[in-house]
Amino acid sequence: MKQRVTIEDKTFELSISEKEILEAVDRCAKAISADYADKTPIFVIVLNGAFMFGSDLVKRVNIPCQIAFTKISSYEGTSTTCVIKEQLPVTEDIRGRHIIIVEDIVDTGYSMAYLKERLESFKPASVEICTLSFKPEKCRVPDLNIKYVGMQLPEAFIVGYGLDYNSQGRNLKDIYSLI
């Protein structure tokens, strides 16, 4: 495992190992499996960042489920624009279904608030959020109510395990913080 990686003009230091990541994924999968034991939820995986987390998560749940994808964006480089762009809407019929949004990271919360409200407009039975990582100090949406959180992180820009810097670094199996 590398202690440091360089992506373009930035250097990142190892922050969370693959082992710690997969333990967080397991915790989320167990909680979801218990909560949805008698349901068949639709996991709405947010592209591109949550593809690795979503894949590992759905392999670990032990309940029937379906998978859908959406793509929204609000980042340029290492900072948010606070303008959410929906690039790929959910096309499945979610009316009356239990929805679990699967996200890689929640920091300001604006993207998740937007997506949750958007999905709720289609009248599902429920909409919950499952995120691998959450930055509570940075969240600006007080009533977001994230039900499943793999790990809480301090303020730092991170890459790896699906997270990127200028579309690079997603393939790293560990998570690295900008130094």
Work out the angle between the directed axes of helices 51-60 and 18-35 (0-180°, nearest 10).
Answer: 50
Active site residue 143: no
Q: Which one of 56, 104, 107, 164 is the catalytic residue?
A: 107
Q: Which residue is it, tokens 């592209």?
A: 47
Pairing of strands 4-7, 10-16: antiparallel
106, 133 Cβ separation under 8 angstroms: yes
Beta partners for 134? 106, 152
d(CA 166, CA 151): 24
H or E element in which residue 34 lies: helix 18-35
Cα angle: 155, vertex 159, 162; to 5 degrees: 120
Cβ-based burial of 152 (10 A; exposed 0-12, middle 13-18, buried ≥19): exposed
d(CA 65, CA 47): 18
Active site residues: 107
